[in-house]
Amino acid sequence: MTQVYFDHNSTSPMLPIAMEAWVYAQSDAWMNASAPYRGSARVNALFDNACERIAERIDCKMNEVVFTSGASEGITSIFFWLAREYPAEKVLLAPTEHTAVQRAAEFFFPGKTDYLDANPDGSIDLRQLEEKLLTREYAAVAVMAANNETGLIHPWKLINALCRKHKSWYICDATQWMGKLESHEIGICDFLVASAHKFGGSKGCGLLKLPAQIDDFRLILGGEQQEGRRAGTVDYPGIIALVEAFDWTNKLTSKINDYRGNFLRSIANKIPDITINTDLNNSLWNTLSIALPKYENIRWIHNLDQAGFLVSTGAACSFETRASKTLQAIGKTSDEIRRTIRISSSWNNTEDEWQELAEAMIKIWNKLGHEDQ
Amino acid sequence: MTQVYFDHNSTSPMLPIAMEAWVYAQSDAWMNASAPYRGSARVNALFDNACERIAERIDCKMNEVVFTSGASEGITSIFFWLAREYPAEKVLLAPTEHTAVQRAAEFFFPGKTDYLDANPDGSIDLRQLEEKLLTREYAAVAVMAANNETGLIHPWKLINALCRKHKSWYICDATQWMGKLESHEIGICDFLVASAHKFGGSKGCGLLKLPAQIDDFRLILGGEQQEGRRAGTVDYPGIIALVEAFDWTNKLTSKINDYRGNFLRSIANKIPDITINTDLNNSLWNTLSIALPKYENIRWIHNLDQAGFLVSTGAACSFETRASKTLQAIGKTSDEIRRTIRISSSWNNTEDEWQELAEAMIKIWNKLGHEDQ
């Protein structure tokens, strides 16, 4: 049975263009970029070119780009650096940040990690942010570009400007933004992280942008690769796959669809009392978090899996604990959270697939109703 | 022109079996191992199987295996953990350790990183090690399994036993050992690190073995992947490629060849006064470090590159600084170091290729002699 995958906020399969680039690079540019012969100098030049392409796309300098193993590494390395530079200061987070950001902040700033309030839609109050910044107590502020669970979009450009004005560093986790929305200015954020596998690159490869003026930034120690900011043999195949996947998805960001809107209209009269956790007017076009009126999410997910549709509860990495930080932070009850599923599409999911998902859900709703009688 | 690659201690191209496994996994097992549907549970089971296969091969427990982005990350994470657990203690290193080990030790144990002496062949004195251990000042000892520049083999089994006896942790950087020599017991070392791309896996993937009883081990923070010891979406395609490459190379470790010996005999009478930095009786079969009688190594390397042979100066990651830590530690003069080249083969290099390399070197020697006249 073909399965229709609706969990792209968790991970995406590699895009053919990225896969091709990776495979080609493994035969054409596999040498160590730091070795002393011409083939190696060529890999180094290709690596520089990859940095340049990304820098140009997101509007930052080439020497501000560092390739990592993923967003979690990028985030950890930022807080590791902050803790050494500003040991006496605090950090400020949106309460809906990804586990990676919360854990890295709490680990390196124990007892000194403060949280902004969240409005019921998950948004933060920029006036509260400015008030906090005025205390001058915060080395850095982290507010993600778009939320992994609800898809909510945060005004990263304004937040970056506020942080600049008040001399705090702004950390933008763009893991869910890049590849889904126009990114040509996101490199203006002081710090930026993303993971290639969220937009069709390979797992184990990520992007970190940091301000050029920062010295002595490093988490993984060793050789002088990447200007000393990230040791370890450069994974050029992974990097070029990241760049190709990003380019491919980035070109589509003008063609946002509203398939999820049609999906919601299709199920609205058939499954009553659905709670929409996602702010449909200010969120990623691909993401939909809804609390169903009845039955635990895991029962829905298993039934949908049987019917050939893959959706999720929320963040994959917190599946086992079943505690959605985002939904808790926006005031959802644990009962609502247990009834919540997350649907997240890619550029390749068609309107038909969304409609088929709607039909499958209606069938399951009716079936579970019968079973319960 | 075909080029013959003799720099496998720097990196190797992916083995076909590893490439196939990687490509297949990208279509068959690309889902997030932590998601709540069956496809994801399957990836998780495959991941467990990969851990089990490695654990069985190297004789450790399955839950002692962690997959990282490479040896540098593994090393950094070990010293990061040690510094938090034993803030008042010191660490002890062989002076010929890789830059990654030296830098991580010096960073996390500043002023508290001590070095053993090296004999002229690079070996350490086990009595000196035991004397140091008897002081009870050392949280950990790092002596690599085999040296990346000279190929010298250290008695890791004895060192591990000594460390156990005196209650220090033993850190074994097996980056150059694994894939080249029999590894069925190397997992008995307390800590072990390796990089997949050194034995035909992909870049950006590595292996860390740590003692099962250790709690709270983590460098990269975030989700609870890999039992909380390494956050970030599991890169199953990279991991299965690592396992397949390791298996393939590991099966060959009984078939060690002495092509380098024949190579040395071939050039011995044609290029006079070569200094052999490698201890031929106690080193990796694939590695040969020699100081040529005349001309800077970089001139040799460029001439060999033109002739179709790729060899190196020493560690790729220190190419730019041109300072070989290993050769300095074993008392080589900077003049000798400047005349040193490193030749490192793989299982796929043939005896003919070694002989062709010998002929090319003799030609270059004669040519450079003429040019100099």
In chain B, the percentage of residues whose pLDDT exceeds 90 is: 92
The strand pair at A309-310 and A275-276 is best described as unpaired
SS3 state at B239: helix
pLDDT of the residue at B325: 82
Question: What digits encode the pLDDT tens for the residues B34-53?
Answer: 999 999 999 999 999 999 99
In chain A, the percentage of residues whose pLDDT exceeds 90 is: 92
| Phi then psi dihedrals of residue A356, to 5 deg | -65, -35
* pLDDT band, very low/low/confident/very high, at B321 (cuts 50, 70, 90): low
Measured between beta carbons, which residues in chain A are less than 8 angstroms from residue B38?
A: 305
Question: Taking all residues of chain A, what is their mean pLDDT, rounded to a whole number?
Answer: 95
d(CA A71, CA A192): 9
Question: What digits encode the pLDDT tens for the residues B329-346?
Answer: 899 999 999 999 999 999
The reply to whether A203 touches chain B by the CB within 8 Å rule is: yes
* pLDDT band, very low/low/confident/very high, at A316 (cuts 50, 70, 90): low
Question: Taking all residues of chain B, what is their mean pLDDT, rounded to a whole number?
Answer: 95
Least confidently predicted of A82-96, A209-223, A314-328, B12-26: A314-328
Question: What digits encode the pLDDT tens for the residues B145-183?
Answer: 999 999 999 999 999 999 999 999 999 999 999 999 999
From its phi and psi, is residue A48 left (phi > 0), alpha (psi between -120 and 50) or beta?
Answer: alpha
Is A14 in Cβ contact with B32 (below 8 Å)?
A: no
Class of residue A298 by CB neighbours under 10 A (exposed 0-12, middle 13-18, buried 19+) = middle
Beta bridge partners of B165: none
- HSE (CB half, 13 Å, CA atoms) of A216? 8
pLDDT reading at A94 higher than 90: yes
pLDDT of the residue at A269: 87
pLDDT reading at A318 higher than 60: no
- Greatest mean pLDDT among A130-139, B217-226, B363-372 lies in A130-139
Is B72 in Cβ contact with A221 (below 8 Å)?
A: yes
d(CA A162, CA A164): 5
Residues in chain B: 373
pLDDT of the residue at A317: 53
pTM of the complete model beyond 0.90: yes
Question: What digits encode the pLDDT tens for the residues B205-227?
Answer: 999 999 999 989 999 999 999 99
In chain A, the percentage of residues whose pLDDT exceeds 70 is: 97
The reply to whether B221 touches chain A by the CB within 8 Å rule is: yes
pLDDT reading at A354 higher than 60: yes
The strand pair at B206-209 and B191-195 is best described as antiparallel
Residue A112: C-alpha distances to residues A26, A84, A94, A105, A319 (Å): 45, 14, 14, 9, 27
Is A197 in Cβ contact with B233 (below 8 Å)?
A: yes
pLDDT of the residue at A314: 77
Only one residue has tokens 């030609």, namely B363
The token duo for B372 is 């100099």
The token duo for B223 is 């989700």
SS3 state at B287: strand
Nearest-CB residue to A225 (from B107, B237, B317): B317
Is B298 in Cβ contact with A34 (below 8 Å)?
A: no
| Phi then psi dihedrals of residue A195, to 5 deg | -120, 130
d(CA B20, CA B15): 9
Nearest-CB residue to A11 (from B11, B27, B32): B32
The reply to whether B314 touches chain A by the CB within 8 Å rule is: no
d(CA A109, CA A168): 15
pLDDT of the residue at A322: 57
Question: What digits encode the pLDDT tens for the residues B77-98?
Answer: 999 999 999 999 999 999 999 9
pLDDT of the residue at A372: 75
pLDDT reading at B315 higher than 80: no
* pLDDT band, very low/low/confident/very high, at A166 (cuts 50, 70, 90): very high
Alpha-carbon dihedral B199, B202, B203, B207, rounded to 10 degrees: -70
CA-based nearest distance A28→chain B, Å? 10
pLDDT of the residue at B317: 53
pLDDT reading at B318 higher than 60: no
Q: Position B21: which residue type?
A: A
Only one residue has tokens 């854990």, namely A103
pLDDT of the residue at B37: 96
Q: Which helix (H) or strand (E) holds A342?
A: strand A340-344
Query: Do B339 and B294 touch, CB atoms closer than 8 A?
Result: yes
Q: Count of CB atoms within 10 A of residue B302's CB? A: 15
In 3D, which of A228, A162, A183, A193 has the Cα closest to residue A78? Answer: A193
pLDDT reading at A240 higher than 70: yes
Is B236 in Cβ contact with A203 (below 8 Å)?
A: yes
Alpha-carbon dihedral B123, B128, B130, B131, rounded to 10 degrees: -170
| Phi then psi dihedrals of residue B260, to 5 deg | -65, -30
From chain B residues 59-78, the ones with a CB under 8 A of any chain A CB are 68-73, 75-76
* pLDDT band, very low/low/confident/very high, at A324 (cuts 50, 70, 90): confident
Is A195 in Cβ contact with B235 (below 8 Å)?
A: no
pLDDT reading at B20 higher than 80: yes
Measured between beta carbons, which residues in chain B are less than 8 angstroms from residue A98?
A: 222
Question: What digits encode the pLDDT tens for the residues B66-76?
Answer: 999 999 999 99
Residues in chain A: 373
The gap between the terminal CA atoms of chain A, to the nearest Å, is 30
pLDDT of the residue at A2: 83
In what side-by-side order are the strands of the sheet with B275-276?
A: B275-276, B287-291, B340-344
Query: Do B58 and A221 touch, CB atoms closer than 8 A?
Result: no
The reply to whether A234 touches chain B by the CB within 8 Å rule is: yes
Mean pLDDT of A88-112: 97
Mean pLDDT of B54-59: 97
Mean pLDDT of B266-270: 94
Question: What digits encode the pLDDT tens for the residues B295-311?
Answer: 999 999 999 999 999 99
Beta bridge partners of B283: B152
Is B75 in Cβ contact with A204 (below 8 Å)?
A: no
In 3D, which of A130, A119, A91 has the Cα closest to residue A107? Answer: A91
pLDDT of the residue at B2: 83
Nearest-CB residue to B238 (from A26, A204, A234): A204
Least confidently predicted of A306-315, B270-279, B355-364: A306-315
Query: Do B80 and B108 touch, CB atoms closer than 8 A?
Result: yes
d(CA A179, CA A204): 17
Measured between beta carbons, which residues in chain B are less than 8 angstroms from residue A32?
A: 7, 10-11, 316
* pLDDT band, very low/low/confident/very high, at A74 (cuts 50, 70, 90): very high
